[in-house]
Amino acid sequence: MSAKTKPRTPKKKKSEEKPRCGLCGKTKKLTKTECCGQWICDDEDKYVIFSYARNSCSRNHSRFTLCGYHHTEEHEGSWKDCPICRNGFETEMYVYYGTNEYNFEKLENPPAYLPTKCVKCGVIISLGYDGYSIKGGEYWCEECSNKEMEKLHTRKMP
């Protein structure tokens, strides 16, 4: 008795294409993201504490995207239709975290939101990119915040 065995031809994986960081395209020193398994620069160690620099691909993805947040907070399902993520941020920040350049996949139908304006001078503040401060639930642009700070510092004590 000879058992018929189908000849298995192992599929050869083409490894011609080098893995690249999905954000900046570099091919050196890569790792895979914990949240979505994408190739990314293994550069977290480059980050200098308190420098607020955004030069680390892996840090940017884990800190400034819904994908990273969703994973860190251990939500279920996909971040794209996660109600906890959706309700966890102001719409503008939700859209920013879901569509900024640190994403591999962007939110397809980001919700609309009204622009945030400085309560003092009325300039539109882009919450993801501009500096601002919040006082009593109202947004102040960077310039007005600075002016206010100066006023406080120069105010004479009674």
Q: Which residues of the chain form contacts with Zn ion (CB under 5 A)?
A: 21, 23-24, 26, 33, 35-36, 41, 57, 67, 70, 75, 82, 84-85, 118, 120-121, 141, 144
DSSP reduced 3-state for 134: strand
Q: Give the nearer residue to Zn ion in terms of CB position, either 77 or 128.
A: 77
Amino acid making up residue 50: F
Q: Give the nearer residue to Zn ion in terms of CB position, either 84 or 134.
A: 84
Q: Give the nearer residue to Zn ion in terms of CB position, either 5 or 133.
A: 133
Task: Provide, rounded to whole angstroms, the least separation between the CB of residue 144 and Zn ion.
Answer: 3
Task: Provide, rounded to whole angstroms, the least separation between the CB of residue 12 and Zn ion.
Answer: 29
Task: Provide, rounded to whole angstroms, the least separation between the CB of residue 81 and Zn ion.
Answer: 9
Task: Provide, rounded to whole angstroms, the least separation between the CB of residue 6 and Zn ion.
Answer: 39
Q: Give the nearer residue to Zn ion in terms of CB position, either 59 or 70.
A: 70
Nearest to 35 by CA among 64, 74, 84: 74
Dihedral pair phi/psi, residue 134, rounded to 5°? -115, 125
Residues 6+ apart with CB under 8 A from 97: 64, 65, 66, 69, 89, 128
Per-residue DSSP letter, 45 = G
Q: Give the nearer residue to Zn ion in terms of CB position, either 12 or 42.
A: 42
Task: Provide, rounded to whole angstroms, the least separation between the CB of residue 26 and Zn ion.
Answer: 5
Residue 39's DSSP bridge partners are: 32
**Alpha-carbon span 10 to 50, nearest angstrom:** 50
**Alpha-carbon span 63 to 65, nearest angstrom:** 6
